[in-house]
Structure 1
């Protein structure tokens, strides 16, 4: 018989401070973590308020960090970034602020480099299938359809 570990309010608060200090977190992740620790709703609210008050938890900061990381490392486009942030219950205002931190020229440079690199790695001989594979890949990554179709038509003739 497994007995679940219980935490006092102080222990849980300390644990969550470390959890948030290690990496930026959103409210949803923090609440899920507390629920897996079997904390009651009143305790969860108390801890979240404490984390907000002491700046361990900040959704605007989380959104900016998330966008910056996923854009630079995973090469995601604005649509995918928006979708993933919405899944984490981030407000529209914070999403838009975070997306505005991406430099327009850098965005296009990253998109072009990604599209060209992928186009060279597709071994398909049929032009239409090759173009479709490139388009599917870029759309999945969250790049805007107008950009994707223009680039695919320019690269694969």
Structure 2
């Protein structure tokens, strides 16, 4: 079971319990995705401010399909790790019920952002550092561009620290 998501079954169909949420990091700062892009801290700030100013929200979609909204993001914010989202799958939407069942079974847990690049810098290897983006949506996806962006992954920063410790330890062992 994914933390923050409760699914109950009635007549064979999953029913989302009201008041329960999904949450996780949709983007992690400084991590290069499979397309060669890394989002830098502050990249979402202006976009989130514009959305709030207009009384608008970041959309929750299924697999980046604009014809398949499945819920609402109640909180979208940058913190020291990345773009954190918290929202609700809507029980009256069939695809949201299916998404809940897939999350519960562990078949899907990816989060992915839909955006337009406003400003970016390119390094010598062709990778882009995104310094400002216009955030449109955060989707539940099967295969996120940033594999570490997942539902219930608040511990992503801790995992990076643990990985760094293992790398450092292996380097020490190689030199001995």
TM-score normalized by structure 1? 0.25
Higher strand fraction: Structure 1 or Structure 2? 2
Higher helix fraction: Structure 1 or Structure 2? 1
Q: Which has more radius of gyration?
A: 1
TM-score normalized by structure 2? 0.23
Q: Which is bigger in relative contact order (C-alpha 8 A, separation at least 6)?
A: 2
